[in-house]
Structure 1
Amino acid sequence: MFRRIVPVLGLALGLGLASQAAMAQEQSPPPPPAVQGTPGKDFTGVSPANLAGIMNYCVELQYVSYDEGNPVLYGLSEKYKATEQTVGNFDYALGSAGYFDSNGKRYYLVAYTNEDDRRAACHAAVKAAQPML
């Protein structure tokens, strides 16, 4: 009798795991929308709060060093109230997720397909933020 139950139990367990995996796949958020073309590395039209978020993203993923990115992050956050806990800031949140708005279009830093380009974009963001401090 035990020999009959084990295969049925194994099949039921396998089907349960497969259906759970399918449900999890259905519930996962969709990937970010495709970026049309790679954005330039010109951050002049990006808001200070968005740049602060980008600095957070770049430092966290080590595209710029802590010593280079954190003073910019803290300076922008303090001056432009980008990280006010009581209000929040959508531009800062976008930047922290790696998105930036430039000239009416939203870009994602991962659109730069290789790491060297992402590093270069982060260094360009540091330079663009300097006059705002």
Structure 2
Amino acid sequence: MKKTILLVDDEVISRTILTFILQREGYQVLTAIDGLDAQGHLQGKSIDLIITDLNMPNMDGITLIGEIRIRDAYKYTPIVLFTSESEWQKKKAIEAGANGSIDKSFQTKQILTTIKAMIN
């Protein structure tokens, strides 16, 4: 059965490229444009990993991480921050409950290695 990844990012190009890479590797990808949109996917669906941007309209990544962590069904779902923000911002996301981070200037091998380590 395919593993499902929820990808949350307000940048169309980031969503498109990452979705392509992940689908090519056999993952099912759900997408959302911000934290509010992502909450529509958090209604009991089986999600194996969440990748979220930090700076988004309506609900940012830190707030989304907090919302995810209070839901029993997703309390232990791995969350990866996908951002080009500073180390301080990444640390703040880890403190909120993210399991790791990937810089937006990623290499395909880097993101796939991180994802596989968290859900395979």
TM-score, normalized by the shorter chain, greater than 0.5: no
Q: Relative to total residues, which structure has the larger helix share, 1 or 2?
A: 1
Larger radius of gyration: 1
TM-score (norm 1): 0.28
Q: Relative to total residues, which structure has the larger strand share, 1 or 2?
A: 2
TM-score (norm 2): 0.30
